[in-house]
Amino acid sequence: MSINKYKGRVAIICGSAPCVKQEFEIVSKARPDAVIVGINEAVQIVKCDILMTYHLLEVGKFLGKSLGNPIIHTSKGFRPELKDLADGFWQVKGGATSAGDAIQICQQMGFKEIILVGCPMSGGDEYFYGKGKENVEGCPRFGNTGNEHLVNRHKARLKEIVEEGDYTNVSSMSGFTSELFGKPKLK
């Protein structure tokens, strides 16, 4: 797999918040040649080129209702026993939700611009498919309401990661992530 095909391109990272579809429609019109990256269940509401997930054991469930046939990248890092489950294995600084992982992977892939849609990371944002969701591989779901400690921990970790690198090419359409990265300049 060659990542050179992504260098200099635009990535639209789609999360699972209720705002994903509306934000995606706006951004995809402004960036029609973008590579579409779906985090976990987002591949079920937006046709994605790439599925990014830490949760490799859940890939079958994510792809079962997928609108397309995305290639799979994971932030789990390479493990021989999982080699058949993903096309790309990446090392990231964890602890900032799947959106934080996807941002770091897209940076490593060489995207010139990364725009988050449906990734407000405000905490308790819920999901496009409704309230609540069981934990995935034992990880509490960020979009569920009522866990302020978890929300604050993930936000603090994302801030730390951003302070350690150059993320000036990242923007977001809404929520905490738009406050952290700024909003995209759309025509």
Q: Does the pLDDT at position 1 exceed 60?
A: no
**16 or 12, which is more confident:** 12
Percent of the chain with pLDDT over 70: 89
Q: Give the Cα separation of 76 and 89 in Å (integer).
A: 7
Q: How does 8-43 read in b/e, with b if 16+ C-beta sit within 10 Å?
A: ebbbbbbbbbebbeebbeebbeebeebbbbbbbbbb
- What are the extents of the domains in the chain? 3-181
- pTM of the predicted model as reported, rounded to 2 decimal places: 0.91
Q: How far is it, in rounded angstroms, from Cα 89 to Cα 112?
A: 20
Token pair, residue 22, equals 């509306």
pLDDT at 23 over 90: yes
**DSSP H helical segments within the chain, as ranges?**
20-30, 59-64, 97-109, 148-163, 175-181
What CA–CA distance (Å, rounded) separates 89 from 125? 28
Which token pair is 48?
């994605």
Q: What number of CA atoms fall less than 13 Å from residue 138's CA on the CB side?
A: 1
Amino acid identity at 114: I
Residues β-bridged to residue 116: 13, 172
Q: What integer is the mean pLDDT of 91-104?
A: 91
- Binned at pLDDT 50, 70 and 90, residue 145 comes out as low
Which amino acid does the sequence have at 150?
L
Q: How many residues belong to the chain?
A: 187
- Cβ 47 vs Cβ 152: under 8 Å: no
Q: How confident is the model at residue 38 (pLDDT cuts 50, 70, 90)?
A: very high
pLDDT band with cut points at 50, 70 and 90 for residue 70: very high
Question: Span 85-93, mean pLDDT?
Answer: 89
Is residue 138's pLDDT more than 60?
A: no
Mean pLDDT value across residues 36-46: 95
